[in-house]
Structure 1
Amino acid sequence: MPSDPRANPSQPSGVPAAGTVVTGEFDATKARKQSTLVLRRFFRHRLAVASLAVFTLIVLFGLLGPLFWTIPVDDTTSRGYLPPSPAHPLGTNQTGKDMLAQLIVGTRLSVQIALVVALGSTIVGVALGALAGYLRGFVDSAISRFTDLMLIIPQIAVAAILVRAFDGSWYTVAFILAAFAWMQTARITRGETLSLAQREFIEAARAAGARTRWIIFRHLVPNMVGTITVNTTLAVATAVLSEAALSFIGLGVQPPDTSLGLIINENYSQITSRPWLFWGPFVVIVLLSLAVNFIGDGLRDAFDPRQTKVRA
């Protein structure tokens, strides 16, 4: 039989020749993406995964609840202060409104406020912090002093005054809270930027003539995604508590809108005689805050390449 002219007698047995496409078992050694490694580390953090499930259930409760519980939130045809029953699982309030319908709407609006605050404060904080850390000089001094000034302002008091001056709708409360929630993110981002700005890939981008905007948003910010994600997550928990505090003292969300804090404000006097009116929204606030904090804890461990501990 004639030999294969492409055969190389000097090629060792079992070793592929140069230019040969390796298939089969060698395909299993693909390089892992960073996102894949982060997800694997996160899903090994059992408490964070359980908290993510709780947070998802709360969000679905607020979003999909009206599809299953059809009593209107403003319906007052029932008698006031009815105890829990199959018709009203959480009873009714003083005006006869169904408390389960109130809780569904309040949960949805509280989550909406928290997400808007977290997103808005993150965008502002990252932009200002990155500019300050990269440009330095006068820009850094101006942004840093403005950040320090905002930090010493009594935020809840000023936010309460501003909400009172406007209409008290949920989106007004969200934007006002976001205006006082970006400073911590800006400081953390500035510190990260000061460190990254000295790295070789930034120097190479400068030497290549890249513009400041391109360097900040295409090189610096993507390399801070772990820190930014964790801070955004924690900002959600802070926003939930801030909105609840404002609404509890009657200076947050105003009727006809409602929120978890406003429901507690309207029913806290019934904590001993009709505790179900108080404990429903209170438990949702606690679960939201704890779940988001544990999710942030899991994300911090997942983004840390030195983290090898598996949480129980």
Structure 2
Amino acid sequence: MPSDPMLLTANQPGPPIGTASEFDASKARKQSTLIRQRFFRHKLAVTSLIVFLLIVAFGMIGPLFWGISVDDSSGGRFEPPSAEHPLGTNQIGKDMLAQLMRGTRLSVQIALTVAVLATLVGVTLGALAGYLRGFVDTAISRVIDLMLIIPAIAVAGILVKAFSGSWYVVALVLASFGWMSIARITRGETLSLSQREFIEAASASGATTRWVIFRHLVPNMVGSITVNATLAIALAVLSEAALSFIGLGVQIPDTSLGLIISENYAQITTRPWLFWGPFVVIVALSLCVNFIGDGLRDAFDPRQTKVRA
């Protein structure tokens, strides 16, 4: 008697459920992987990151490979660009390429220090004001209002002059005037997030203020924090250049991009290479960190569905 084909089909073992390829495809990707993929699809941000790293390498490790010391003044006065001195020499015979490397290093150090300190202070105070509200919010908001009406460049110049022109003094002074906008933005986002159910649940369960802020609020503001930190880097580069240009920033024997421009701006028509070198580096640094911040904002935003090229 022939067997029922339907019965045979039912009794035959089927293909294994959940093969390795299917399992790997369906496995949930980590959030860090998604962020990294979004960022590296942002071509302009990736290009800016590469240029930024090259500039940092130029300032940090470039002197190790350049044979002329920043303090060597054996060259002739105002020598034009040559194989020995690609950017010529300054008024006392120092190699301008070595000076540019040193100035780039100090300017980057100042900018990164300012960004880190201003972001830490701004995020902490802004989150406290938005989450605790009441007297704390009023007090912090009034301090922010007071700091915003102070002429930052003038006061920063006076403080730097009073406490010497070392790069870390310049960084601390600029950071003390760079946290207010970050605090305001963080406060606004905290006010919005504090109305969400998961924040109310954390508060109702007895979580401390520090836990709620740094475990729940700050991770949900990473995108805006990152963008503001990168903007702080660009602003610090420009602020340091402005202070040094008017003689109230980094002081000799140290140097910075702004100080190099200040020393050589009068040569812009007769010896333009002395001016345009540091100027181009300042512009490149500012543009790169802004484009990097744009890419990071898109990468961290969970609502981002299409990454701009």
Q: TM-score, normalised by structure 2?
A: 0.93
The structural deviation recorded for 1:308 is 3.1
Counterpart position of 1:239: 236
CA RMSD across the alignment: 1.7
Is 1:61 matched up with 2:55?
A: no
Q: What is the identity, as a one-letter code, of the residue corresponding to 2:242?
A: A
Which one of the candidate residues 286, 291, 298 is aligned to 1:289?
Answer: 286
The structural deviation recorded for 1:302 is 1.8
Which one of the candidate residues 74, 83, 99 is aligned to 1:102?
Answer: 99
Is 1:159 matched up with 2:167?
A: no
Which one of the candidate residues 70, 74, 92 is aligned to 2:71?
Answer: 74
- Which stretch shows the higher mean deviation, 136-145 or 197-206? 197-206
Q: What is the identity, as a one-letter code, of the residue corresponding to 2:226?
A: T
CA contact (8 A) 2:160 2:249 kept: yes
Counterpart position of 2:273: 276
Is 1:185 matched up with 2:182?
A: yes
Q: Secondary structure at the match of 2:61?
A: helix
Is 1:137 matched up with 2:153?
A: no
Counterpart position of 2:208: 211
CA contact (8 A) 2:245 2:262 kept: yes
Q: What is the identity, as a one-letter code, of the residue corresponding to 2:193?
A: L
Counterpart position of 2:6: none
Deviations 1:133-158 (A, max 9, x none): 01000000000111011111111111
Runs (4+) of structure 1 moved beyond 4 Å?
9-12
The structural deviation recorded for 1:217 is 1.2
Q: Aligned partners of 1:288, 1:56: CA distance in 2, in Å? A: 10
Where does structure 2 lack aligned partners over 5 or more consecutive residues? 1-9
Q: Aligned partners of 2:73, 2:84: CA distance in 1, in Å? A: 14
Is 1:300 matched up with 2:294?
A: no
The structural deviation recorded for 1:22 is 6.2
The structural deviation recorded for 1:185 is 0.5
Counterpart position of 1:5: none
Q: What is the identity, as a one-letter code, of the residue corresponding to 2:236?
A: A
Q: Aligned partners of 1:10, 1:228: CA distance in 2, in Å? A: 60
The structural deviation recorded for 1:255 is 0.8
Which one of the candidate residues 217, 220, 224 is aligned to 1:223?
Answer: 220
Counterpart position of 1:43: 40
* Aligned sequence identity (%): 77
CA contact (8 A) 2:298 2:307 kept: no
Is 1:83 matched up with 2:74?
A: no
Q: Aligned partners of 2:144, 2:55: CA distance in 1, in Å? A: 34
Q: Secondary structure at the match of 1:82?
A: coil
